[in-house]
Amino acid sequence: MELLENKTGKKLLLGNEAITRGALEAGVDVATTYPGTPSSEIADAFSMIARDATSKNKDPGFYFEYSTNEKVALEVAAAASLCGLRSLTCMKHVGLNVASDAFMTYLYIGCKGGHIIVSADDPGCHSSQNEQDNRYFAIFAGAPMLEPATPQEAKEMTRVGFDISEELSSPILLRTTTRLNHIRGPVEINKFKEPKRKGYFEKNPMLVTTPAVARVRHSELLNMLKKAEVLSEKSPFNFILNIGKPEHWGIVTSGVSFNYVKEIVEDLGLNVRILKLGMTYPLPRAMCENFIKSCKNIVVVEELEPILEDQFKAIAFDIGSNVKIFGKSTGHFSRLYEYNLDIVADAFSKIFNVKNPFNKPADSKIKLPSRPPVLCPGCPHRATYFAAKKAKPKDVVYPTDIGCYTLGRYKPLEMADLLLCMGSNAGMACGLAVATDQKIISFMGDSTFFHAAIPAIIDAAHHNHDLVITILDNRTTAMTGHQPHPGTDFDGMGRKAKRILVEDVVKGCGIDHVEVVDPNKIKETTEAFKRALEFKGPAVIVSKSPCILLENRNKTKRGEDIFIYEIDQEKCKKCKICISQFGCPSFYYGKDGAIYIDAQQCNGCGNCASICPFGAISPKEAMK
Amino acid sequence: MNKKTNIVLTGVGGQGVITAANILGKAAVKAGLNVYVSEIHGMAQRGGTVDCTVRIGAVSGALVANGTADVILSTEPIETLRYIKYSNKNTKIITDITPVIPFTVSAGIEEYPELDKIFEELKNYGSLYKIDAVKIAKESGSILTKNTVMLGALAGIDVLPFKPEILLETILENIPDKYKEMNKKAFEGGLKATRKH
């Protein structure tokens, strides 16, 4: 694997892999995460390297863990940094909300060994519940911030970021977006730096943030930001690029927006100077002032919130400049979604009064069927959903959570009614139990349970809320790429780990009615849901069955057969339960109107055979 | 304007579209060219629609603008049409002819248009190359070489700014020895299929 090669040269790396590479080249000692798209591959790369080393009885050169949640991940790495080790913590943007309690005060006490905190933002909500702009977190907490535009820059900013972090004794926020995390580009790689491996914790009363310490620390934080501004002025990540023969027009941009700006400016043949900001907090104020003075008009191009735009207006005001600033406030750019070449070209054509180089996009009149993501054929979640619905088909509210099971929202299941964030199913189930007499069955995955739902389950037990909470225990963090979690018997380093049983934790939380079911036994699972609904008070169902993708992979490894299923057309009475109620995507209507199973898609779970009232479905042949 | 090659790869999650895009990117690096590849992960993987882009040459980002694709390479007919916004009259459209029926259709909620109608429609947006990748892959030794057939088909239309041999070499470097021979055949099968057009 190219990421592992301790040598120099040019490689095609994913933005996320480039971040991991940069950390290895900086001699990172401790890396922590909770997986979340679009950040996951940063940590997965660490895990792959560590597992490979573990399997060979070698030391990977660093410690890595998939932590229980982002807050724990940040705390683990912060402590390592305070022992003098270089640390990295990565998470998706909403993960920083979870870690924010630690993050806000961490900036007060600062770090010792360099610490990079990666926030992977998701403009356009490709795989997220919101598109919050985490650059505000840098300003909010007072964290110096770097924003890469390309995988090459991501690697360099990570590598150099550790030095900046140590110089300032402050953790650094490396703020990325989906189109950085998930683009591949050429990266110049260098050799790895030897890590320290062990540090030493030197006691210091200023690390205990009592009010008296906090007041002193806040003032020190502001002083650190002044030093950071000096670094920002000198940083090679902030630079001016002159295109054509610039006179009065300037463009200010950061992150991936720079890529679109540069290309469109070149295509349109504009004469502009571009201020490309890579260290965007604190801004290099003198550099920005001089840039403003050199322009009569400035266009600010940044995805999501007008953070640079507002700061440039404030600086222009302070220096008494009459510069005209174009951006979101003039209506040329949106605060919504991610940008691309078309959006930038459209805005520039209006601002610079030139012809948009792109034609109106072709559009076909043929209506295409939609292709939403679905629960995989054989997914045990589908069986749990089906069984729960059978227990009480109507007047049930289904709070859901973050994971594959959110896909239960779609037809024919339609069993996802309410979702905020990780763990919210259980907390909102409690509120619903207070506020309505409707029945409540909530759903979450096992990784989500450990991550954020335990306090809400204790709330349900303590207040005796009348509800049913379901934990879909498929023994993996499936949606983000099958990472281990506290319920698996191995960890991110590939070492044996203590498996924490969901049902034991739930009982420890004070829940008296706990049932463990195998969802593939659909009738029994339905009975368990009925008992849980009848129980007055909080009931928890732990539905245990491994993710079918992992299960089949393991079966193949063990040399076991996977049997795919077929429908006996003579026995089929076309009651459609399999297709219109169970909704396995491997079922389809043939041209003759009969129902068939697509052998290419069937994963052989066999649940369709158990729900068919006419015994028309049975295993056909071993395959795959 | 400096030379840019814009390739859009589309298909269904699980068909190997991301892998194919990655291989094209690696081939471009091997050829000493600048390249950016975009992918979408997470939610998009669970059988949903997928589009990846590969841009080679004087480009500074990975996303392809509307109407600027030199090629749309698709592993599924309606997923070709879904991304037709990337096309212009000069776009070369290579599509596998085998449909993957979305669940919305198999459950009777929506309809899959007639295949012939899709192909007729596609002809309005560029030059169309229909590839029976399943057939060529089976002839080459395994249906699993389908994506190699499609990459061969791409190499056959003379849009890539490097030789087909570099792409084939990159494909072969990324698979185990025992599958090399069938993939070589698959690549050549795909290449012939577009060359003879």
Where does the pLDDT of residue A254 fall: very low under 50, low under 70, confident under 90, or very high at 90 and above?
very high
Buried b (16+ CB within 10 A) or exposed e, A399-417: bbbbbbbbbbebebbebbb
Residue matched to tokens 């989500």: A448
Residue A83's pLDDT is: 98
Residue A582's pLDDT is: 95
Q: Specify the DSSP element, H or E, that contains A44.
A: helix A40-55
pLDDT surpassing 70 at residue A15: yes
Q: How many CB pairs under 8 A join A and B?
A: 182
**Which segments within A475-524 are labelled E, that is strand?**
513-517
- CB-nearest partner of A368 from B63, B81, B107: B81
Where does the pLDDT of residue A621 fall: very low under 50, low under 70, confident under 90, or very high at 90 and above?
low
pLDDT surpassing 90 at residue A259: yes
When scoring B6, B8, B41 by the number of chain A Cβ atoms within 10 A, the one with the most, hence best to mutate, is B41
Residue A430 DSSP one-character state: H
Listed residue (A64, A70, A59) closest to A94, CA to CA: A70
Contact A179 B62 (CB under 8 A): yes
Residue range A307-311: mean pLDDT, rounded: 98
CA–CA gap between residue B197 and residue B184 (Å, rounded): 21
Residue A289's pLDDT is: 98
What is this model's ipTM? Answer: 0.94
CA–CA gap between residue B188 and residue B155 (Å, rounded): 9
- pLDDT tens for A364-411 read 999 999 988 889 999 999 999 999 999 998 999 999 999 999 999 988
Which ranges of A319-379 does DSSP label H, i.e. alpha helix? 341-351
Q: Lowest mean pLDDT of A195-199, A290-294, A369-373, A619-623, name the range.
A: A619-623
Residue B1's pLDDT is: 43
Residue B41's pLDDT is: 66
Which residues in A lie closer than 8 A to residue B79 (C-beta atoms)? 371
CA–CA gap between residue A150 and residue A254 (Å, rounded): 11
Contact B62 A183 (CB under 8 A): yes
- pLDDT tens for A467-515 read 999 999 999 999 898 999 999 999 999 999 999 999 999 999 999 999 9
Higher pLDDT, A586 or A347: A347
Where does the pLDDT of residue A624 fall: very low under 50, low under 70, confident under 90, or very high at 90 and above?
very low
Do A345 and A327 touch, CB atoms closer than 8 A? no
Q: How far is A175 from chain B (nearest CA, A)?
A: 18
Which domains are delineated in chain A? 2-234 (3.40.50.970), 239-351 (3.40.50.920), 380-553 (3.40.50.970), 561-623 (3.30.70.20)
Q: Residue B103's closest chain A neighbor by CA?
A: A585
Residues of chain B whose pLDDT is less than 70?
1-2, 41-46, 197
- pLDDT tens for B92-116 read 999 999 998 888 888 888 999 999 9
Q: How far is B125 from chain A (nearest CA, A)?
A: 8
Where does the pLDDT of residue A301 fall: very low under 50, low under 70, confident under 90, or very high at 90 and above?
very high
Residue B131's pLDDT is: 97
Residue A4's pLDDT is: 74
Whole-number mean pLDDT of chain A?
A: 96
User: Which CATH number is associated with domain B4-195?
Assistant: 3.40.920.10
Residue B13's pLDDT is: 86
